[in-house]
Amino acid sequence: MSYADEYRSKLVSAEEAVKIVKSGDWIDWGQILSNPYALDTALAARKDDLDDIKIRLVMSAKVHEIWKVDPQGETFFMNNWHFGGADRAQHDKGNAYHIPNLYRNNPLFYRKSLYDDVDVAMFRVPPMNKHGYFNFSCSVAVLRAICDVAKKIVVEVCPGLPWACGGREELLHISEVDYIVEADSPVVEIPVPPPTETDKKIAEHVMKEMVDGACIQLGIGGMPNVVGTLLAESDLKDLGCHSEMLCDAFFHLFEAGKLTNKRKSIDTGKTTYAFAAGSQFLYDWIDNNPSLAAYPTTYTNDPYIIAMNDNVVSINSCIEVDLYGQISSESSGTRHISGTGGQLDFVTGAYSSRGGKAIICCTSSYQDKQGNLQSRIVPMLPQGSIVSVPRTQAHIIITEYGKCDLAGRSTWERAERIITIAHPDLRDGLIKEAQNMKIWSRSNKI
């Protein structure tokens, strides 16, 4: 049988495909751009026929149909490796749960621990090529591992998704697929919020840490993108990319002639990443581009692999930092915001790199709903807040008021340095708390 004939034999409607799901199943949807659309709608229509359907995914790019028909989570039980805005809203309603993880371990979780808990994998892919292969597109990070253990696999073919060159583990052969659904659904763009003046000040401090030939990782959010844009406008040259996420900023760097990857020790000449989310021009750049290499997170996020490149600079953001140097990037108290993702992976790998730097950025303060000024630098993290980066791994922290380097510093040195980058109006209160906590030296110069 030819691949075309095999394709036709497995081609069904979304409604027919979701009949494969039975009560009690665990279903995996992949991440962001791979989340299914037609299959989501067809599955939602089966709400009253099913019970106890547990869905695992990474960061929803939209509000799913199953949420609309099942707002209380009576049938569909959502479990998420990393929250986006839509997931946070569902979590606040008690209809979404987080799965703690280090992103580098995500494929390992499936192969070592969840191998019996993937009844159906269903996700979007670009059209099959002439050799019978589908491609994981912007979601190479973990999909191969899911497919390796899934009992049934359903693909939703989306013509608009780009074909991502590997790397490795970027392909799925038609012989592994049970059903194929065709649906010309939209490819979601993830807009970058416009930078504030505070963002620009933080980015200027980050720029001082850059050197020619630096190999860059940019995390999720507006701040890393601002830094990337400034890099594109700078005099720096021969920058490299080894990042879990490929975002708009890397395209701007490439377009400006700054992203050459010439000085990388591994994947020399290649832009290396695990997943992508951004604007349409980013997806156009990815499509069949052999200068980009998509890998699973077991490779991109392995600190040992990261450190093989010199001058790695990881740039991520956080929610709060306490005076011990503990960094919370995923929750505000017990309210879950995002996830650990690859932040700790890259903090560890970048610091281990020769000449490398692990940078965490945040605004020094924010205004609460009552208009009061609140500090993001706090004496101790609020009860229930998750420590994303332990104090033992914290390196450089930057706010609009400057940077502090915590690596190798004692508790009193950390407190003093962190307070220097807090909002000036809030420093006295932090000093008093540091004194009460016995981590304030009389030798301070603040």
- The CB density around residue 425, as the number of other CB atoms within 10 Å, is 11
Q: Would you call 244 a catalytic residue per the annotation? A: yes
Residues 6 or more apart whose Cβ sits within 8 Å of residue 347? 314, 316, 358, 360, 389, 393, 394, 395
Cα gap 242→294, rounded to integer Å: 10
pLDDT for the residue 62: 87
Query: Is the CB of residue 325 less than 8 Å from the CB of residue 71?
Result: no
pLDDT in tens, the chain (446 residues): 899 999 999 999 999 999 999 999 999 999 999 999 999 999 999 999 999 999 999 999 889 999 999 998 999 999 999 998 899 999 988 888 999 999 999 999 999 999 999 999 999 999 999 999 999 999 999 999 999 999 999 999 999 999 999 889 999 999 999 999 999 889 999 888 888 889 989 999 999 999 999 999 998 777 777 888 888 888 999 999 999 999 999 999 999 999 999 999 999 999 999 999 999 999 999 999 999 999 999 999 999 999 999 999 999 999 999 999 999 999 988 899 899 999 999 999 999 999 999 999 999 999 989 999 999 999 999 999 999 999 999 999 999 999 999 999 999 999 999 999 999 999 999 999 999 999 987 666 55
The pTM assigned to this predicted structure is 0.95
Query: Is the CB of residue 333 less than 8 Å from the CB of residue 383?
Result: yes
Helix, strand or coil, per DSSP, at residue 250: helix
Token readout for 446 is 């603040």
pLDDT for the residue 1: 82
Geometric angle at alpha carbon 330, from 58 and 217, rounded to 5°: 75
Outline where 155-295 has alpha helix (H).
197-207, 222-232, 248-255, 280-286
Helix, strand or coil, per DSSP, at residue 5: helix
Cα gap 38→18, rounded to integer Å: 10
Cα gap 242→300, rounded to integer Å: 7
What region does 69 belong to: left with phi over 0, alpha with psi -120 to 50, or beta? alpha
CA 262 to chain centroid, in Å, comes to: 26
Cα gap 339→80, rounded to integer Å: 9
Residues 6 or more apart whose Cβ sits within 8 Å of residue 439? 323, 324, 411, 412, 414, 415
Strand 312-317 versus strand 357-361 pairing type: parallel
DSSP state of 48: G
Token readout for 75 is 């049938």
- Catalytic hit among 170, 244, 413, 416: 244
Give the domains, in start order, of the chain with CATH numbers: 3-182 (3.40.1080.10), 197-436 (3.40.1080.20)
Query: Is the CB of residue 410 less than 8 Å from the CB of residue 317?
Result: no
Buried b (16+ CB within 10 A) or exposed e, 80-114: bbbbbebbbebbeeebbbbeebbbbbbbbbbeeeb
